[in-house]
Amino acid sequence: MNLQEFFTQFIPQIEAEMRACLSSSDPALNPYYGMLNYHLGWVDERFAPAPTSHSSGKRIRPMLCVLVCRAAQGDPGQALSAAAGIELLHNFSLIHDDIEDNSPTRRGRPAVWKLWGVPQAINCGDGMFTLAHLAMDRLRQRGVSCDRIMDVRETFDHACLALTHGQYLDISFESRERVSLDEYLRMISGKTAALIGASAAIGATLAGSAAVAQYETFGRELGLAFQIQDDVLGIWGDEALTGKSAESDVATRKKSWPAVYALERSEKLRALYAAPEVDVPAVLAEMDALGVRAFAERAAGEHHERARLALRDSGAAGDAGQALFELAESLLRRAA
CA distance 179 to 264: 8
pLDDT tens, position by position, 274-307: 999 999 999 999 999 999 999 999 999 999 999 9
Start-to-end C-alpha separation, the chain: 25
Q: What share of the chain is helix, strand, coil (3-state, %, to 5)?
A: 75, 0, 25
CB atoms near residue 43 (< 10 Å) = 18
pLDDT at residue 54, as a whole number: 55
The mean predicted confidence, pLDDT, of the chain is 94
- Per-residue pLDDT of 69-119, as tens digits, reads 999 999 999 999 999 999 999 999 999 999 998 999 998 899 999 999 999
CATH number of the CATH domain containing 116: 1.10.600.10
State residue 246's pLDDT score: 64
Total number of domains in the chain: 1
pTM above 0.85, yes or no: yes
Range of the domain at 329: 3-333
